[in-house]
Structure 1
Amino acid sequence: GKSELVKEHSANQTGSGLERDYITQWSYGIGETFSLLVPNVKGGASVPLSQNETAMKKADPTYMGLYSQIGQYWGEQPGTSGPVYVGAFVMFLFIMGCFIVKGPMKWALLGGTLFSIILSWGKNFMGLTDFFIDYIPMYNKFRAVSSILVIAEFTIPLLAIMALKEVIEHPSVLKEKAKAFYISLGLTGGLALLFAVAPRVFFPSYVSSMEMSALQNAIPAEQLAPILMNLEDMRVAIFTSDAWRSFVIILIGVALLWAYCAGKLKAGLLVATLTILCLVDMWSVNKRYLYDEQFVAKGTEMQPFLQPSETDKKILEDKTLDYRVLNLASNTFNENQTSYWHKSIGGYHAAKLRRYQEMIEEHIQGEMTALFKELPAAGGDMTKVDPVHFPVLNMLNTRYFIFPLQGGSTAPIFNPYALGNAWFVDKVQYVNNANEEVEAIHQIDPAKVAVVDKRFAEAVKDSGAGKDSLSTVVLKSYEPNELVYEVNSQKGGVVVFSEIYYPGWGSYIDDKETVHGRADYILRAMNVPAGKHTVRFVFDPKSLHVTETVAFVALGILAVVAVIAVVLQLRKRRKE
């Protein structure tokens, strides 16, 4: 969704989606597009270079430790799981199809291919990318523009099949359009051959800019030159090996085509042999990234989750209905194991809650850094740590930290400052916009003050009486789509709930629908009157019921149409 924060580099923001530099982070390099023909044109996947046998044959043993840390991929994307490769001979047929296939379908497929490729370049072709981000609906929701290459992965093989069909139906086409044939061969097989014999002519550098910067910072200048020379030799070997491979596959495919056109091969045998050729080609490349070791029994894959660690077991002894855990012993926002056992502050999902992500960047990451400094100094005793350094983690009811120890083990650290499931505040500080709201949290104690955007002033009305020291808020039941609290106070006032504010949640006081608002940028808050009350939050959005209604009506119509069709068919048969 659109960020409400107004940032300094406003040109980087989009109308209602992700930032431009975030969208274009995974932009396919212009030279990287040759991976459609030669898979390892940029090294393949971001896995250790030491895992590549071809590269290791050129490796200097002196630098073996370094090569287990440097990746095979040397393109400009932050990382990748593999290249976009459609098959060497498929590319030959696609190029030839541009010459020998007739009709509007050819132009549609060619146009779709080129469009997809250019869009995948992202920041390398910002004119078109900016136009799509600004004017094409939903495009600014993409987080990796290179994913648009799925279109080319469909259109290229389809036009290739149409070209093969043309050759099978008109065997003389290769002689009649010999020029088109040789151009196609030159643009695919010829190019692969040139890559193989003169790799440095086309790609002068085999080290990405990010990689070069990291190496320059980590390695003394006098040692860097020989490492870069050896690294280049290794990567050239990877590239040329695949270039020769593509060249040979194209030659085999072309030889089979000529044999058919010369009458030495039947159509059925031609299709069978080309199918085998393309299958072997694609299978062998795909197996580099979907290798045997990845296919394991479900039980083996689930093993790390089904056996809680000693730290998990200690935390799980706490049977309180709802609290959160922050894992500081892992890549906090890029793992899912913590969430299997606990309600986690971290975790990962490709579709992120915008406001929560902004809180991670603005507050939580900084508070985690402070914890890494403070906790060891305090000997792991949270009572000796000043809670002023992590107010957001406290308001998120982070009761336990999983902290790393030497030797790879972990320990649970109890946080006595967690604010609980909900609490009354002394006062409400109203602000004018999102920037003021997220900034104000740096200055306040969330246990005493709630920061509220003035748009929610009616729902989160400050009575000015201050909180009652005997007031209580207790979570009585917890379900993912329903939370029930018992609130008791003599004065009433504003209660902040340690749950993420999100559209679609309804709120009720003693079963009477009541509006609630947003506080502290991401949490829920409402004014609860004096006395004993039951507060309930329910997630049951109307849009869900509308969608269900549409779905059931559509299914009903389909069923009626199906019955009518069957009845008409039966009548027709009776008449016949």
Structure 2
Amino acid sequence: MKGNEKLTSATETVGSASAPAGAKLSWRKIWPYAAVVLLFVTISLAYFYPASFDGRVLFQGDVAGASGTAQDVRDWQEQSGEHSYWTNSLFGGMPMYQIAPSYPSTGTLQTIQDVLTLRKPVYLLGTYAWMLFALMGGFFLFLRSLRVRILPSVIGSVAWAFSSYFLILIMAGHIWKLTALCFIPPTLAGMVWVYNGKRLAGGVVMAFFTALQVLANHVQMSYYFLFVMFFLVLAFLAEAVRTKRVRSFLLSTGVVIIAGLVGVAVNSTNLFHTYQYGKETMRGGSELTLKQSGNVADQASHENKNGLDKAYITQWSYGIGETWTLLVPNVKGGASGYLGYNEKAMNEVNPAYAQTIGQMNQYWGDQPFTAGPVYVGAFVLFLFILSCFIVKGPVKWALLAATVLSILLSWGHNLMWLTSFFIDHFPLYDKFRTVSSILVIAEFTIPALAVLALVEIVRVGAPILNRERAGWITAAVLTLGASLLFALVPSVFSLLSGEEEMMFREAAGHPEAGAIKTALTDVRADIMAADAWRSFGILLACGALLLLFLKKKLQATPMLIGVAVITLLDLWTVDKRYLNDEHFIDPALVSQRAAPLTEADKQILADKTPGFRVLNLTVDTYNDATTSRWHRSIGGYHAAKLQRYQDLIEHQLSKGNREVVNMLNTKYIIVPGENQQPVPMLNPDAYGPAWPVSSIKWVKNADEEMTALDTGSLSRSIAVVDERFASDNLRKLPALTDSTASIRLTEYTPNKQVYETSGAQAMLGVFSEIYYPHGWTATIDGQPASIIRANYVLRALELPAGQHRVEFRFDPRSLHITEAIAKTALVLLLLGIVASVLYPFVLRKKRPTA
């Protein structure tokens, strides 16, 4: 039997009869899948060879930047065995919900994930290779759910997994984002199986992988793929109406909803607290209406009180012309970085301008900066365009609609009318920034449709050349023709960014400006042309294989193997530009770079006084967490910090308001000393961990509360309190005249603080701990007490006269409720898995024997 006869259409009618559920398994059926697993393991390990075998690791920017975060929680858990859901290591204090979301209910699920990705019981795929394996395995399941044969499914899996963006994510340290993407294709596979009639197995698969992708805690990626699911459901509905199987469609839809709810419920603890916390972060907006003229960051934070500002959301928008990176990765230069690092490109530069050109950016797109382009493979894109003409059925239209939407929305402020519509009218869309990342949908749909086109070519054979002539011509013009155009005329697009265009216009009078501009555009033209020729060659090579098959000079299987190899090499070599063996270093060096222990740190660590904080002025204070590794920092690094603290940074701390630094109990300030070495300075004016105040300054709103903290307005003896926290007792509280009144910290852990108070009269005590309205409780001598907010971000309590024991504890009741829901859902999921495994055997026993 010829290779092309072994392949069936990948677009069979939705809901058609499937193979008998009770069919016997045999080695003949199992070994192809075992071979695929072995192939995926080999490819995954090979990409990271030899680094992963040498024990070398990546220095990932985002991971390193946040490496010190929550060190106090880790230390406390090691010391006591107790896990804290609050950390004091950064920004004065914040919940752990978006730092390291780990809950008892998800432990079993994480173990199963580790087994499936070959990290348990043997750590076979290590720190990075497992992600490539999971990407390929998940996409393979999706294509198999569409009834694509094994070999083309392998091709599609490789094309998906090695799309450049995913390797760039690994390099940047966006591991949770990539983990979510690993489990999205098999989630969709489960949904497709449900609509194809395999409701029990499909529902279990969908619920299980929904649980895994949500466990990854990157809601943005899961949110984007809801669009894909929506379009697929519309496709299934259209097919159900056409075939008069609406009742079956409705039943399957019910299963899909239940499966999704179970998968989500398994993560209910994380999801609820992410939602709750999100309202208190920058995603939730600020109460302030104050603006600082010229302060863009402040305006971006406050113009939209219900979510992120549009300018902030669309800051990273993919350029319309930049979309050609899907075909030619260097159409805008690739990644940001000095041209001087590109020795090959610099060889042709006039030596007189080499130094200047070497300091220019290799990337000339209009994003602020980029770690690399989104490249899906030249021939993969050719097949995708061809699929728009030759692939039939509603699934094609669903995937095509998702592709178009993804590309249009990735343009962000370059197509602002559409972006604004989604920000204004689609729930949660305004909570996510970096709109260019929605291209992950196109990275999914393009290889999927490319494989469906490949299958259709093999199924139909030579007649498809004449039958779909318009499709072949369109695909050739948009890929082969475009590559040739870019190679011959690279200046078809501007070779300068918008900022550079402005810079050269302003420097028009400079005698050498024109020559420098010409030298710069020449070197960039060479970079673009070289990559365009590369894509052109790949298209010719794969096109030749396809032509040989259609002319019956080559059978399907060798043709497909040839396409697979060329596609892998194409993507592999581009990926290696952004993640290669040179990026891997010894783990000890990573630790040193991520958490350097300076002499200043050692001196501060010798101070065992509990509860004080540190301000480090030798680093980018509010975008660096290295200080958090060793101390409780008033700075840090996190994308979802509390909005109140962000307000404090913008309006007070960034202005150097010393009294606000003091109220945060900043005992040490690290400053540059001789040779720029960090030196600790003792701050004798720090207010301490808690203090009684003489009087209360009542304010009407957030603006007045913030203004009351301005330099010259704040002191240790006054508490600034919003009127919303007023009570009759507080309003009647007399001025404190007892000079012996005191509040002493006696016990300090991340989730618990204990104080002893003493005073001859009732008073208001202010505690230098960050106010958070969800989860913190206070008791005075064991009796519940109401926490109020003071000085915009701190906690305060009304304290009775006499000696008392005050305790703050972070143990949200919501944690216990959501954990009960999550564990119940997990039991249902595990029962579903068992039922789906046993069901075929039950059917086999019921089948009548001859």
TM-score in terms of structure 2 length? 0.62
Q: Which amino acid aligns with 2:582?
A: E
Residue 69 of structure 1, CA deviation: 4.0
Distance 1:15 1:98 in 2: 42
Residue 208 of structure 1, CA deviation: 2.1
Matched, 1:404 2:672: yes
Equivalent residue number for residue 296 of structure 1 = 585
Residues 1:126 and 1:570: Cα distance change in structure 2 (over 3 Å): closer
Question: Is the 2:548–2:554 contact (alpha carbons within 8 Å) kept by the matching residues of 1?
Answer: yes
Equivalent residue number for residue 720 of structure 2 = 451
41-50 vs 57-66, greater mean Cα deviation: 57-66
SS in 2 for 1:72: coil
- Corresponding residue to 1:328 among 617, 626, 651: 617
- Corresponding residue to 2:823 among 552, 560, 569: 552
Q: Deviations over 1:196-222 (max 9, x none)?
A: 11122x223x23233456778899834
Question: Is the 1:460–1:526 contact (alpha carbons within 8 Å) kept by the matching residues of 2?
Answer: no
Residue 162 of structure 1, CA deviation: 0.6
Question: Is the 2:778–2:809 contact (alpha carbons within 8 Å) kept by the matching residues of 1?
Answer: yes
Question: Is the 1:395–1:418 contact (alpha carbons within 8 Å) kept by the matching residues of 2?
Answer: yes
Residues 1:563 and 1:27: Cα distance change in structure 2 (over 3 Å): closer
Residues 1:214 and 1:447: Cα distance change in structure 2 (over 3 Å): farther
Equivalent residue number for residue 314 of structure 1 = 603
- Corresponding residue to 2:401 among 100, 106, 111: 111
Q: Deviations over 1:157-211 (max 9, x none)?
A: 11111111111111121232223112111011101111111122x223x232334
SS in 1 for 2:638: coil
Question: Is the 2:300–2:308 contact (alpha carbons within 8 Å) kept by the matching residues of 1?
Answer: no
Equivalent residue number for residue 749 of structure 2 = 479
Residues 1:497 and 1:114: Cα distance change in structure 2 (over 3 Å): same
- Corresponding residue to 2:471 among 180, 185, 188: 180
Matched, 1:517 2:788: yes
- Corresponding residue to 1:232 among 498, 521, 524: 521
- Corresponding residue to 1:438 among 687, 695, 706: 706
Residue 22 of structure 1, CA deviation: 0.8
Residues 1:15 and 1:564: Cα distance change in structure 2 (over 3 Å): same
Distance 1:413 1:216 in 2: 47
Identity of aligned residues (%): 48
Within-5 A mapping of 1:535-574:
535-560=806-831
Distance 2:713 2:757 in 1: 24
Equivalent residue number for residue 246 of structure 1 = 535
| Structure 2 unmatched runs, 5+ | 1-283, 292-298
Distance 2:651 2:507 in 1: 29
Equivalent residue number for residue 431 of structure 2 = 141
SS in 2 for 1:46: coil
Residue 68 of structure 1, CA deviation: 5.1
- Corresponding residue to 2:761 among 491, 503, 509: 491
Residue 91 of structure 1, CA deviation: 0.7
SS in 1 for 2:611: coil
- Corresponding residue to 1:427 among 695, 702, 717: 695
SS in 2 for 1:42: coil
Matched, 1:91 2:381: yes
Question: Is the 1:28–1:122 contact (alpha carbons within 8 Å) kept by the matching residues of 2?
Answer: yes
Residue 75 of structure 1, CA deviation: 1.4
Q: Which amino acid aligns with 1:178?
A: R
221-230 vs 448-457, greater mean Cα deviation: 221-230
Within-5 A mapping of 1:48-67:
48-67=338-357
Q: Which amino acid aligns with 2:723?
A: K
SS in 2 for 1:399: strand
Residue 12 of structure 1, CA deviation: 7.7
SS in 1 for 2:608: coil
Distance 1:128 1:460 in 2: 53
Q: Which amino acid aligns with 1:525?
A: A
SS in 2 for 1:288: helix
Distance 1:104 1:460 in 2: 68
549-558 vs 3-12, greater mean Cα deviation: 3-12
Distance 1:218 1:537 in 2: 61
Equivalent residue number for residue 349 of structure 1 = 638
Distance 1:329 1:10 in 2: 26
SS in 1 for 2:730: coil
SS in 1 for 2:414: helix
Q: Which amino acid aligns with 1:548?
A: E
Q: Which amino acid aligns with 2:536?
A: F
Residues 1:104 and 1:559: Cα distance change in structure 2 (over 3 Å): closer
Residue 556 of structure 1, CA deviation: 2.9
Residues 1:313 and 1:460: Cα distance change in structure 2 (over 3 Å): farther
Question: Is the 1:424–1:467 contact (alpha carbons within 8 Å) kept by the matching residues of 2?
Answer: no
Q: Which amino acid aligns with 2:482?
A: L
Distance 1:241 1:230 in 2: 17
Question: Is the 1:45–1:80 contact (alpha carbons within 8 Å) kept by the matching residues of 2?
Answer: yes
Distance 1:287 1:71 in 2: 20
SS in 2 for 1:73: coil
Equivalent residue number for residue 373 of structure 1 = none
Matched, 1:5 2:5: no
Residues 1:20 and 1:491: Cα distance change in structure 2 (over 3 Å): same
Q: Which amino acid aligns with 1:37?
A: L
Q: Which amino acid aligns with 2:763?
A: G
Q: Deviations over 1:64-113 (max 9, x none)?
A: 44445432211111111111111111111110011111111111111111
Q: Deviations over 1:476-532 (max 9, x none)?
A: 222221121222222231111111111221121112111111122111112111111
Residues 1:88 and 1:434: Cα distance change in structure 2 (over 3 Å): same
Within-5 A mapping of 1:150-299:
150-172=440-462, 173-200=464-491, 202-204=492-494, 206-211=495-500, 221-299=510-588
Distance 1:253 1:179 in 2: 19
Report 1 or 2 for greater relative contact order, CA contacts < 8 Å, sequence distance ≥ 6.
Answer: 2
Q: Deviations over 1:120-164 (max 9, x none)?
A: 111111111112112211111112111111111111111111111
Residues 1:282 and 1:569: Cα distance change in structure 2 (over 3 Å): closer
Equivalent residue number for residue 23 of structure 1 = 313
Question: Is the 1:467–1:492 contact (alpha carbons within 8 Å) kept by the matching residues of 2?
Answer: no
Equivalent residue number for residue 75 of structure 2 = none
TM-score in terms of structure 1 length? 0.90
Residues 1:416 and 1:211: Cα distance change in structure 2 (over 3 Å): farther
Residues 1:119 and 1:313: Cα distance change in structure 2 (over 3 Å): same
Residues 1:398 and 1:67: Cα distance change in structure 2 (over 3 Å): farther
Residue 562 of structure 1, CA deviation: 5.8
Question: Is the 1:459–1:517 contact (alpha carbons within 8 Å) kept by the matching residues of 2?
Answer: no
457-466 vs 498-507, greater mean Cα deviation: 457-466
Equivalent residue number for residue 739 of structure 2 = 469
Within-5 A mapping of 1:501-516:
501-504=771-774, 505-516=776-787
Equivalent residue number for residue 39 of structure 1 = 329
Question: Is the 2:331–2:528 contact (alpha carbons within 8 Å) kept by the matching residues of 1?
Answer: yes
Distance 1:118 1:571 in 2: 49
